[in-house]
Copies of this chain bind each other. A is one copy, B any other.
Amino acid sequence: MKQVTTIHDIAKKSGYSASTVSRVLNRKKHVSTETRQAIQQVIEELDYVPSDIARDLSRGKTLNIGFVLPNTKHPFFTEILTGAIDAAFKTPYHLVILPSEYDEEKEIEYLEQLRSNAYDGLIFTSHGVPLEKLAEYTKYGPIICCEDPYDVPISAVYAKRRIALTEAFTWLKEKQYNNVGFFLSREEKLSATSKETLGAYRRIFKNEPEKELVKTGVTTYKDGYQAAKEWVENGIVPEVIFSNGDDIVTGARQYYLDHNLPLPFLVGQEDQLSSQLLNISTIDYQFTEIGRQAFELVLKAEGIEKIGIPSTFIVR
Main secondary structure of the interface of A (DSSP, over half): helix
Report the separation of the CA atoms of residues A118 and B118 in the bound assembly, to the nearest whole angstrom. Answer: 13
Q: Nearest chain B CB to A126's CB is how many angstroms away?
A: 15
Residue of B nearest to A48 (CB): B116
Do B2 and A140 touch (CB < 8 A)? yes
Cβ of A101: which chain B residues have Cβ within 8 Å of it? 89
Do A82 and B72 touch (CB < 8 A)? yes
Report the separation of the CA atoms of residues A218 and B95 in the bound assembly, to the nearest whole angstrom. Answer: 29
Copies in the complex: 2
Q: A52-B116, A118-B53, A273-B273 are in contact. Are A96 and B99 (CB under 8 A)?
A: no
Residue of B nearest to A59 (CB): B1
Q: A277-B250, A278-B277 are in contact. Are A60 and B116 (CB under 8 A)?
A: no
Do B277 and A51 touch (CB < 8 A)? no
Q: Does A97 contact B (CB under 8 A)?
A: yes
Q: Nearest chain B CB to A2's CB is how many angstroms away?
A: 7
- Give the residue of B53, B78, B97 whose beta carbon is less than 8 angstroms from that of A97: B97
Do B85 and A97 touch (CB < 8 A)? yes
Cβ of A49: which chain B residues have Cβ within 8 Å of it? 112-113, 115-116
Q: Does A56 contact B (CB under 8 A)?
A: yes
Q: Does A54 contact B (CB under 8 A)?
A: yes
Cβ of A315: which chain B residues have Cβ within 8 Å of it? none
Q: Does A270 contact B (CB under 8 A)?
A: no
Do B118 and A51 touch (CB < 8 A)? yes
Q: Does A15 contact B (CB under 8 A)?
A: no
